[in-house]
């Protein structure tokens, strides 16, 4: 009697084909609400490019899960990217300071499985295949971000895929109002836009030992989506002396931040909001437009697709540094308003020293973000940093805007 053949697999995982798969991948995305059914949900509009959130990374991949019978149908998607980033620091042999320890770091994002095809092992297989690509390209660690209350995601990554809860950054979001913030350059603050090369040198010398700092920071700053790096110094009339003189004799207080235009990458939309809340928000915007001199707080229109600016690369020193960060955020608010965006967002470590200077609305922000990390290269020695997944958190992290 002939031996029975095992049934064919219910689905396969393959590389995303932009020409054939874009529409079907979008359908999966829109079927997966970010939020409980029947409640307010956050939708992402990828502006016709399913690769938008990884395209700016040095190396990236998108995979799809596709059924084989009775018809071919895309039921799941996942994206991943790889870069070299800081995982620790060590003493510098020459000047007695510290220098970064780099690792090849992968990032998993955009994992979606159509609701009708969950609990079939699709998500687990997508993650496993993505990790195969990570390892084949030399990645030593992989991380992902989710919310603390996303039990399904945490169960998949920590219980089944071997990720460890690692860092708990905070997403700070501030609305863009019709009225403008007060000019930052006054007798109290001087605000300067730094040349890209000078910004790179400043970041490398002051922030390169911060966790997740990208070694290709020059590529980040030169990207057309990076709208500039801005320095705030206490007092008036400060003239930028160049990075060498600035770092050898810095002002008593200073702060720096860079601005990224996420509006040209993707847009967001809140759905499921009660009609009365939409009307109230509209009334606040109307009042702000009619009486801009009152500087009334207004709720932006988040109920249609909207864009935002992302602030990254926070740094600074001195007693007034948080106040100077606040001035920089005010300048970014005005930039975002001029650019037609409705929010300004940032993500920082829970213990970030400059956090108090970042304006935000608590109701729009997220204090429950969670990053999970996995060591992919188990055969490697611990090296200079040891096992990064067990390292204690530092006061700051560097959030790469390409991975927002």
Tell me the C-alpha distance between 27 and 22, whole Å: 9
Question: Mean of the pLDDT values across residues 328-340?
Answer: 95
According to CATH, the topology of domain 11-168+371-403 is Aminopeptidase (3.40.630)
Domain extent listing, the chain:
11-168+371-403, 173-357
For residue range 208-225, what is the model confidence (pLDDT) as tens digits? 999 999 999 999 999 999
User: String of b and e for 176-211 (b: at least 16 CB within 10 Å)?
Assistant: bbbbebeebeeeebbbbebeeebbbbbbbebbbbbb
The proportion of the chain whose per-residue pLDDT surpasses 70, expressed as a percent, equals 85
Non-local (6+) Cβ contacts of 124 within 8 A are: 156, 160, 161
Q: Per CATH, which fold does 173-357 belong to?
A: Aminopeptidase (3.40.630)
pLDDT in tens, 286-320: 666 666 655 666 778 888 899 999 999 999 999 99
Residue 106 CB partners (closer than 8 Å, separation 6+): 80, 81, 82, 131, 134, 139, 141, 142, 143, 376
Reported in sequence order, the residue ranges of 20-72 that DSSP labels E, i.e. its strands, are 41-45, 59-67
Residue whose C-alpha is closest to residue 61's, from 123, 160, 147, 127: 127
pLDDT tens across 131-184, in order?
Answer: 999 999 999 999 999 999 899 999 999 999 999 999 999 999 999 987 666 554
Looking at residue 313, its pLDDT comes to: 99
Question: What is the rounded CA–CA span in Å between residue 109 and residue 54?
Answer: 9
Assessment of whether the complete model's pTM goes beyond 0.85: yes
Nearest to 397 by CA among 351, 329, 345, 364: 351
């Amino acid at each position: 009697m002939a031996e029975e053949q095992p049934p064919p697999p219910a689905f396969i995982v393959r590389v995303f084909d932009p020409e054939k798969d874009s529409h079907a991948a979008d359908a999966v995305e829109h079927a997966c609400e970010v939020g409980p059914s029947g409640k307010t949900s956050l939708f992402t509009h990828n502006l016709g490019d399913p690769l938008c959130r990884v395209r700016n990374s040095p190396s990236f991949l998108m995979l799809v899960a596709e059924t084989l019978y009775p018809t071919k149908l895309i039921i799941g998607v996942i994206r991943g990217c790889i870069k070299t980033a800081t995982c620790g620091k060590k003493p510098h042999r020459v000047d007695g300071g510290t220098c970064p320890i780099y690792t090849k770091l992968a990032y998993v994002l955009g994992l979606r499985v159509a609701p009708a095809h969950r609990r079939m092992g699709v998500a687990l297989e997508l993650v496993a295949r993505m990790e195969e690509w990570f390892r084949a390209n030399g990645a030593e660690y992989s991380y992902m971000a989710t919310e603390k209350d996303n039990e399904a995601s945490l169960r998949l990554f920590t219980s089944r895929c071997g990720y460890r809860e690692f860092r708990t950054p905070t997403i700070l979001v501030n609305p863009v109002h019709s009225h403008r913030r007060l000019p930052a350059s006054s007798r109290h603050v001087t605000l300067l836009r730094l040349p890209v090369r000078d910004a790179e040198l400043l970041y490398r010398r002051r922030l390169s030992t911060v966790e997740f700092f990208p070694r290709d920071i020059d590529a980040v700053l030169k990207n057309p989506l990076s709208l500039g790096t801005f320095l705030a110094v206490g007092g008036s009339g400060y003239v930028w002396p160049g990075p060498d003189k600035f770092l050898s004799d810095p002002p008593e207080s200073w702060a720096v931040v860079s601005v990224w235009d996420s509006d040209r990458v993707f847009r967001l939309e809140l759905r499921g909001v009660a009609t009365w809340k939409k009307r109230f928000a509209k009334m606040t915007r109307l009042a702000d437009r009619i009486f801009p001199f009152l500087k009334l707080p207004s709720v932006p229109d988040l109920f249609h697709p909207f864009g935002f600016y992302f602030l990254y690369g926070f740094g600074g020193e001195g007693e007034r540094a948080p106040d100077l960060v606040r001035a920089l955020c005010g300048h970014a608010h005005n930039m975002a308003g001029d650019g037609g965006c409705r929010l300004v967002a940032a993500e920082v470590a829970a213990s970030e020293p400059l956090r108090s200077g970042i304006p935000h609305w608590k109701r729009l922000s997220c204090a429950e973000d969670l990053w999970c990390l996995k060591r992919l290269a188990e055969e490697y020695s611990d090296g200079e940093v040891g096992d990064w997944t067990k390292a204690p958190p530092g006061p700051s992290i560097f959030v790469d805007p390409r991975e927002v």
